[in-house]
């Protein structure tokens, strides 16, 4: 019973932990990536007017539509230099993204009057030694000129400008050490890409309808453009997480099955110990079928009590973690404690696994031992 309970508890806790991790990863990516993204199948940039923006906005479910341009640039702050991917966006991007919830330090803003501001990833700020409480000079930005020739003069090879940092975001190392967010107008001017974009980023009302909305958008734009949902943009990551979850599920199910062999052994011993009593019952007219049902019922009760208790304890531990946060994560991260999410389908799966294993472990010894004894031939 104890083995079944521990196995069931482990299944509930581990599956809920994987669910929480998947939700956390999804929330991290949603804070920087759009629900849907439109970009060229071939090429890097296209003109703002190449797509029917108003028709896309009119599609049911579309809430935000923001142009975006991305390119590698060089940042220099005092003596430190670092290459980053500059992401030029409009204020609409800030409205649809969850970047404000990922701000580690400072105030999220891209423009104030005529002054342009930059939002840096935590890793970029670390590489440049930028501390918002001690910023007395702007960051210099360098972008290669499109028509530049080989030259030893920086002003002949690069477009340069100045920009002040306003905030630092912390999502995950993939973004923190690579990206800075800047105003679209400032970025397009620096890159000599006026009125050109790398992509259109779209926010929708309901994430569940992302694929349906993406199909509608694809039907209204030229074939040289591709439309991808956030899941498709990070398909490998999501599939890897799901694969790890179900591999772990099957491993723990196997361990639960091994632990249930204790119950199988206990029932076998019990039947052998009750051999004399079974003779007496048989002589009194108790059929072999009734004997089987009696021992099978006992085995199922052990599974139900052990498995039910384990599931209950697992749910209690998950609820405590959700509301109290016993397991802490690194301070300053995207979540203060390890995420947990209980899903009904997982609980149903665990209940079914416990029931099936309990049935098998109670059915095998009763069928084999009672059939083996010729004394119990009456039905």
In sequence order, what are the residues at sequence separation of 6 or more whose Cβ sits closer than 8 angstroms to the Cβ of residue 342?
12, 16, 19, 315, 318, 319, 322
Q: How many CA atoms lie within 13 A of 326 on its CB side?
A: 6
Q: Is the dihedral of CA 125, 129, 135, 137 positive or negative?
A: negative
CA-closest candidate to residue 305, choices 354, 268, 373: 354
Q: Is 202 left (phi over 0), alpha (psi -120 to 50) or beta?
A: beta
Give yes or no: residues 50 and 19 share one domain: no
In sequence order, what are the residues at sequence separation of 6 or more whose Cβ sits closer than 8 angstroms to the Cβ of residue 57?
65
Tell me how far the alpha carbon of residue 17 is from its chain's centroid: 11
Give yes or no: residues 51 and 178 share one domain: yes
pLDDT at res. 190: 93
Per-residue pLDDT of the chain (379 residues; tens, 9 = 90+): 677 788 888 899 989 988 888 887 777 777 788 899 999 988 889 998 889 888 999 999 999 999 999 999 999 998 899 999 999 999 899 888 888 888 888 889 999 888 999 999 999 999 999 988 776 789 999 998 876 555 556 666 788 999 999 999 988 888 899 999 999 999 999 999 988 999 999 999 888 888 999 999 999 888 999 999 988 888 888 888 888 888 888 888 888 877 777 776 666 676 666 666 666 666 666 666 666 677 677 777 777 888 888 899 999 999 998 888 778 766 555 567 788 889 898 899 888 888 888 777 777 766 665 555 544 444 4
DSSP string, 42-78: SSS-EEGGGS-HHHHHTSTTEEEEEEEEEEEEEEEET
CA-closest candidate to residue 15, choices 337, 227, 252: 252
The domain tally of the chain equals 2
Give yes or no: residues 43 and 173 share one domain: yes
pLDDT at res. 140: 94
Give yes or no: residues 189 and 327 share one domain: no
In sequence order, what are the residues at sequence separation of 6 or more whose Cβ sits closer than 8 angstroms to the Cβ of residue 360?
none
Give yes or no: residues 186 and 290 share one domain: no
Of 181, 211, 230, the position where a domain reaches its end is 230
Give yes or no: residues 64 and 91 share one domain: yes
Distance CA 347, CA 353 (A): 10
Q: Is 29 buried (19+), middle (13-18) or exposed (0-12) by CB count in 10 A?
A: buried
DSSP H or E stretch at residue 118: strand 115-121
Predicted TM-score (pTM) of the model is: 0.71
Q: How far is CA 119 from CA 32, 127, 334, in A?
A: 12, 14, 17
pLDDT at res. 378: 46
Give yes or no: residues 192 and 255 share one domain: no
Give yes or no: residues 58 and 152 share one domain: yes
Give yes or no: residues 216 and 79 share one domain: yes
Q: CA angle 240-245-251, nearest 5°?
A: 125
Report strand pairing: 80-89 vs 103-106: unpaired
Give yes or no: residues 120 and 183 share one domain: yes
DSSP H or E stretch at residue 310: helix 288-323
Give yes or no: residues 47 and 18 share one domain: no
CB 333 within 8 A of CB 32: no
- Domain of 245 in residue numbering reads as 2-25+237-376
Of 197, 230, 263, the position where a domain reaches its end is 230
Of 195, 215, 230, the position where a domain reaches its end is 230
196: tokens are: 């050109």
Give yes or no: residues 16 and 103 share one domain: no
Distance CA 197, CA 64 (A): 16
């Amino acid at each position: 019973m104890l083995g079944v309970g521990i196995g069931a508890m482990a299944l509930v806790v581990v599956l809920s932990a994987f669910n929480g991790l998947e939700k956390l990863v999804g929330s991290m990516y949603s804070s920087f990536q759009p629900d849907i993204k439109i970009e060229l199948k071939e090429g890097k940039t296209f003109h703002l007017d190449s797509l029917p923006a108003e028709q896309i906005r009119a599609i049911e479910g579309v809430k935000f539509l923001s142009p975006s341009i991305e390119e590698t640039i060089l940042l220099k702050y005092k003596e430190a230099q670092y290459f980053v991917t500059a992401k030029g966006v409009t204020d609409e991007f800030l409205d649809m993204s969850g970047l404000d919830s990922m701000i580690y330090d400072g105030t999220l803003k891209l423009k104030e009057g005529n002054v342009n501001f930059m939002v840096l990833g935590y890793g970029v700020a670390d590489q440049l030694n930028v501390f918002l409480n001690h910023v007395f000079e702007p960051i210099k930005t360098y972008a290669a000129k499109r028509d530049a020739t080989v030259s030893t003069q920086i002003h002949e090879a690069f477009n340069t400008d100045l920009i002040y940092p306003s905030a630092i975001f912390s999502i995950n190392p993939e973004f923190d050490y690579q990206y800075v967010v800047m105003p679209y107008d400032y970025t397009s001017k620096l890159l000599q890409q006026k009125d050109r974009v790398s992509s259109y980023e779209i926010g929708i009302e309901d994430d569940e309808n992302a694929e349906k909305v993406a199909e509608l958008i694809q039907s209204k734009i030229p074939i040289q453009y591709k439309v991808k949902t956030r899941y498709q943009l990070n398909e490998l990551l999501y599939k890897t997480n799901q694969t790890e979850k179900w591999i772990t599920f099957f491993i723990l199910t196997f361990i639960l099955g091994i632990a249930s062999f204790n119950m199988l052994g206990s029932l076998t011993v019990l039947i052998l110990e009750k051999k004399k009593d079974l003779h007496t019952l048989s002589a009194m007219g108790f059929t072999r079928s009734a004997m089987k049902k009696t021992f099978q019922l006992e085995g199922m009760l052990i599974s139900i009590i052990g498995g039910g208790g384990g599931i209950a304890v697992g749910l209690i531990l998950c609820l405590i973690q959700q509301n109290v946060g016993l397991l802490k994560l690194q301070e300053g991260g995207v979540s203060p404690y390890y995420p947990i999410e209980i899903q009904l389908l997982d609980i149903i799966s665990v209940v079914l696994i416990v029931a099936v294993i309990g049935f098998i472990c109670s059915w095998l010894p009763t069928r084999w031992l009672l059939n083996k004894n010729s004394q119990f031939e009456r039905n």
